[in-house]
Amino acid sequence: MRFAEPIFLWGLLALPLLLLFFLWLERRRKKALGRIGDLEMVLRLLEGFSEKIRRWKYALVLLASAFVILALARPQWGKKMELVKREGLDIIVAMDVSASMLAADMPPSRLAKAKSETANLIDLLKGDRIGLVVFAGEAYVQCPLTLDYSAAKMFLSDIDYGSVPRPGSALGEGIRKAIGAFVEKERKYKVLILISDGEETGDSDPMKAAEEARRAGVVMYTIGIGTPSGEPIPVRNAAGQVIGYKKDDNGQVVMSRLDEAGLQEAALKTGGKYYRATAGELELDKIFDDISKMERKELTGQFMARWEERFRAFLAAAFALLGVEFLLNERRRRRAETLSAATYETVGKKQGRNS
């Protein structure tokens, strides 16, 4: 047995207070009767009143209150298997893990920011499948499409600079690998979220890849990580300490800049949008709002064990007890007893006169 809303069980602590309230009512009632005259005599005159019934009424109210509290806590026991069907989209996040993503213009680094954005996106999903692709000089599927968000986060935590051995930044390869990770026969329900600083150091032709995504029915959103002003790419030692900055063949420090124009053009080709990453990650809310309006497909159903709700039995018991309490009407009983006593006394007097 378990309770789905155990916080309501704290209400049971109020039952002793309710009992004290009833005891206070009884004490106050006796004080009020004592003001009429001698308490013992008044109680003798009121012997038609049933003290026992009144105590039973108090007990029934207490017990009914306990059952109501238990019902609010939603007791559950026993399980049954149900076929749960989900509706959602297939979402692939393609993440740039090239050296330029180590720049610190999005503290602590562009790559850390990209991972944070992806983790928060996963937290927003409900029923959508998520997959991960990483790319640098080439691209790999880090996590295939799955409904297991915990597993997706485990794969995400393993992503780092060096996840792709080949250096470079091939955006086109990242887009193509993501296209291949979707179900090819479907022409919709596909969303690609590309997170990158937009730098292309190879000949993967991201615009041509974006056109291929459009033909495959993929809507692509791009999130730009970094700043247009640029930031040097740090070089770290084995301990993770910065020991210098990447330089070109002429010995000049390489400045990695955010290429917003390229990311925006690629997104627009597929009917998507471009957003620059912000500290508050408002772009995630905007992207999620957009994709939440898209048509969703029915994903494969699966059997899940669900707890049986039992609160109705407790609620029914509470109402039954309150019904019994209502029927124990001591006024009617007192009137009947008083009428019977009066009739008996009248008959007795008449018999006395006749004798």
What is the residue-level pLDDT of the chain in tens, covering all 355 positions? 888 889 999 999 999 999 999 888 878 877 766 666 565 655 555 555 566 787 888 899 999 999 999 999 999 888 777 665 667 899 999 999 999 999 999 989 999 999 999 999 999 998 899 999 999 999 999 999 998 999 999 999 999 988 999 999 999 999 999 999 998 777 788 999 999 999 998 888 999 999 999 999 999 999 999 999 989 989 888 777 788 888 888 888 989 999 999 999 999 999 999 999 998 888 999 999 999 888 887 765 555 567 788 889 999 999 999 998 888 865 544 444 444 544 445 445 545 555 5
Query: Helices 260-269 and 171-181: crossing angle, nearest 10°?
Result: 30
Cβ-in-10-Å burial (0-12, 13-18, 19+) of 143 comes to buried
Residue with tokens 């599927």: 141
Q: Residue 46 belongs to what H/E stretch?
A: none
Looking at domain 90-295, its CATH architecture is: 3-Layer(aba) Sandwich (3.40)
Half-sphere exposure of 105 (CA within 13 A, CB side): 20
Rounded to two decimals, what is the model's pTM?
0.63
Angle, vertex CA 164, rays to CA 242 and CA 175, nearest 5? 120
- Contact assessment for residue 75 and residue 3, using Cβ atoms and an 8 Å cutoff: yes
Among residues 300, 294, 302, which one has the least CA distance to residue 187? 294
Half-sphere exposure of 204 (CA within 13 A, CB side): 24
Cβ-in-10-Å burial (0-12, 13-18, 19+) of 328 comes to middle
Radius of gyration for the alpha carbons in the chain, expressed in angstroms and rounded: 38
In angstroms, how far is the first alpha carbon of the chain from the final one?
Answer: 74
CA distance 161 to 96: 9
